[in-house]
Amino acid sequence: MNSASVAAELATLRARGRLDEARAVLGGALREQPQDEALRRLAWQHAPVWWQPLAGPRARLERRGPDDAAFVRRCWADGDFMARFNRLAAPLPAGDDALRALLAGEQRALIADSRAIHWTIHDAAGPAGFVSLVDISFSHRRAEFLIGVLPQASRWLAPEAAHLAIGFAAGPLKLERLSAHFYPQNVEAQRIAQKFGFEREGLLRGYLRLPGSGERCDLVIAGLLLDDAYFARSARQRERLLGRDSHRDAARDDGRDDA
């Protein structure tokens, strides 16, 4: 079986939610052709690490999926939350079955194909927000970072969830830069981002045209280089939040760089 036919079979299995079977198919193909670079790349893309939760003392990040449909709909209907989180988020399907199918596809997608990964943030009381890495570029080792938590959540939840995602970005994803965009009015989000390392890099004037009103909107851009100097600077904060500075072993991977 060549790599193209294996890839087609894997896509069918993923669409049915049968990831373990997909990995078994890959394992058999690799035993027959251990030097096939396309198969090795597919094995990296199907590694369990991309679907494993990230856990800290208070926050647990789980890859967003169909079980989150009700929470996603609740948040998308909250104008204040979405104004802070993502004003340009696509509207949700009207039907619940269609929404669950959309989220199932998002959850099963390979990061190399979707160039994004979305987590739901959970605390002891249940789902409390979202954190995402989008527009992932493996060639440039960068991504855009988004986070939003409910206003009643613990003040520790957003920083802890952010550091879990940042550790994952620098670890398994091997990214070297994150960018973040903020609406100028969202001063609190900018303050929090600065506390966990993002530095303001400028103002994008009239960067967005808002749907509905057609109003042009500025965006503040901030950046974070995920280098050793950053992890040295943030080690004490990460230890206070997560218990240890774990960016290099936030989750195990096979050490490969391809996507």
pLDDT digits (tens, 9 = 90+) for 17-31: 899 999 999 999 999
Q: In the structure, what pLDDT confidence band is assigned to residue 246 with cuts at 50, 70 and 90?
A: low
Q: Say how far apart CA 27 and CA 39 lie, in whole Å.
A: 9
pLDDT digits (tens, 9 = 90+) for 84-133: 788 788 899 999 999 999 999 999 999 999 999 999 999 999 999 999 99
pLDDT digits (tens, 9 = 90+) for 174-196: 999 999 998 888 887 888 888 88
Contact of 42 with 7, CB cutoff 8 Å = yes
Report pLDDT for 186.
83
Distances (CA, A) of 113 to 22, 67, 105, 259: 16, 22, 12, 9
Report pLDDT for 259.
55
Domain covering 52-242 in this structure, CATH number: 3.40.630.30
Closest CA to 85 of 157, 180, 191, 168: 180
| Domain ranges for the chain | 1-46, 52-242
CA dihedral (111, 116, 122, 127) positive or negative: negative
Query: Beta-carbon neighbour count of residue 252 at 10 Å?
Result: 12
Question: Which pTM was predicted?
Answer: 0.89
Report pLDDT for 86.
82
Q: Say how far apart CA 174 and CA 155 lie, in whole Å.
A: 28
Q: Residue length, the chain?
A: 259
pLDDT at 165 over 90: yes
Q: Say how far apart CA 254 and CA 208 lie, in whole Å.
A: 39
Question: Cα–Cα–Cα angle for 59, 65, 67, nearest 5°?
Answer: 85
Percent of all residues in the chain with a pLDDT value above 70, rounded to a whole number: 93
pLDDT digits (tens, 9 = 90+) for 57-78: 999 999 999 999 999 999 999 9
Contact of 199 with 229, CB cutoff 8 Å = no
Give the residue-averaged pLDDT of 243-249. Answer: 56
Contact of 154 with 96, CB cutoff 8 Å = no
Mean model confidence pLDDT for the chain? 89
Give the residue-averaged pLDDT of 154-165. Answer: 92
Please tell me whether residue 120 adopts helix, strand or coil conformation. strand
Report pLDDT for 190.
87
